[in-house]
Structure 1
Amino acid sequence: MNKAFVKENDGDDEEDLSPSLRLPPGSKNYMTRRGYEALRAELDLLVRIERPKLVETVAWAAGNGDRSENGDYIYGKKRLREIDRRIRFLIKRIENADVVDPERQQGLEQVFFGATVSFCDLDTDEAQTWQIVGVDEADASHGRISWISPLARALLKAKEGDVVRFVSPAGPRELEVLEVRYV
Structure 2
Amino acid sequence: MQKVPLTLRGAEKLREELTHLKSVLRPRITQAIAEARAHGDLKENAEYHAAREQQSFTEGRIKEIEAKLSNCQIIDVTSLNAHGKVVFGATVDLADADTGDEVTYQIVGEDEADIKAGMISVTSPIARALIGKKEGDLAVVQAPGGTREFDIVAVRYI
- When normalised by structure 2's length, the TM-score is 0.94
1:56-71 → structure 2 map (5 Å cutoff): 56-71=31-46
Between 1:57-66 and 1:34-43, the stretch displaced more is: 57-66
Unaligned segments of structure 1, at least 5 residues: 1-25
Identical amino acids, percent of aligned pairs: 39
Aligned to 1:137, the other structure's residue is in SS state coil
Give, in angstroms, the shift of residue 64 of structure 1: 1.6
Residue type at the aligned position of 2:58? I
Give deviations 1:127-175, integer Å, cap 9, x for gaps.
1111111222222222111111111111000011111112112211111
Aligned to 2:147: 172
Aligned to 1:55: 30
Does 2:66 correspond to 1:91?
yes
The whole-number CA distance in structure 2 between the counterparts of 1:155 and 1:132 is 9
The whole-number CA distance in structure 1 between the counterparts of 2:111 and 2:140 is 26
Does 2:115 correspond to 1:140?
yes
Aligned to 1:151: 126
Give, in angstroms, the shift of residue 27 of structure 1: 4.1
Larger strand share, 1 or 2: 2
Q: How many residues align?
A: 158
Aligned to 2:111, the other structure's residue is in SS state helix
Does 2:54 correspond to 1:79?
yes
Q: 2:77 is matched with which residue: 102, 112, 136?
A: 102
Whether the aligned pair in 2 keeps the contact of 1:108 and 1:182 (CA below 8 Å) is: no
Residue type at the aligned position of 1:100? I
The whole-number CA distance in structure 1 between the counterparts of 2:2 and 2:128 is 14
Residue type at the aligned position of 1:131? Q
- When normalised by structure 1's length, the TM-score is 0.82
Residue type at the aligned position of 1:36? A
Aligned to 1:77, the other structure's residue is in SS state helix
Whether the aligned pair in 2 keeps the contact of 1:154 and 1:165 (CA below 8 Å) is: yes
Aligned to 1:35: 10
Does 2:88 correspond to 1:113?
yes
Give deviations 1:14-35, integer Å, cap 9, x for gaps.
xxxxxxxxxxxx5421111111
Whether the aligned pair in 2 keeps the contact of 1:165 and 1:175 (CA below 8 Å) is: yes
Aligned to 1:4: none
Residue type at the aligned position of 1:106? N
Runs of 4+ in 1 over 4 A off after TM superposition: none
